[in-house]
Amino acid sequence: MRFDKLAERQILKAQSEGQLDDLNGAGKPLNAEASCDAAQSAGFRIMAEAGVLPREFELKREAADLRAKLAETTDEAVHKAFMAKLAEVEMRRAIEEEARRKFMRP
């Protein structure tokens, strides 16, 4: 059975059992990012509420921290080291993101 059909059956079952009544944010639109579809956005929101983030999000945060440090440093050697680390983190993030996209592709 295809994943989308299985997911639809589970949603209908949960609705009929009343498990989806009075959910946090019920009746409000999803805050979907432009780069994600609604299903991915909902999945990311659920994961975030559970305290679990995909590795690519952790790497994105690490890259932002490195950029902040880069802006503060004036030492050429330290700047070069931060740039190398940032390039590595961005590459790993891109790999993680591409792996997720390939996995989620129908």
What's the rounded Cα separation, in Å, for the pair 100 and 86? 21
Residue 81 included in any domain: yes
* Residue 105 within a domain: yes
Q: Would residue 18 count as lying in a domain?
A: no
Local confidence pLDDT in tens for the 106 residues of the chain = 677 778 788 888 888 888 878 777 777 776 644 455 777 777 778 877 888 877 888 899 999 999 999 999 999 999 999 999 999 999 999 998 888 788 777 6
Residue 57 forms part of a structural domain = yes
In a domain, 61, yes or no: yes
Question: How far is residue 19's CA from residue 60's CA, in Å, rounded to a whole number?
Answer: 34
How confident is the model at residue 1, as a pLDDT? 61
Distance (Å, whole) CA 48 – CA 13? 24
- Give the CA distances from residue 45 to residues 24, 53, 77, 94, 101, in Å, rounded to whole numbers and listed in that order: 12, 9, 40, 21, 17
pLDDT for the residue 30: 60
The verdict on residue 38 lying in a domain is no
Residue with tokens 């792996």: 99
Provide the domain limits for residue 98.
Answer: 53-106
pTM, whole model, 2 decimals?
0.54
What per-residue confidence (pLDDT) applies to 36? 59
In a domain, 71, yes or no: yes
What is the total count of domains within the chain? 1
Is 96 a member of any domain?
Answer: yes
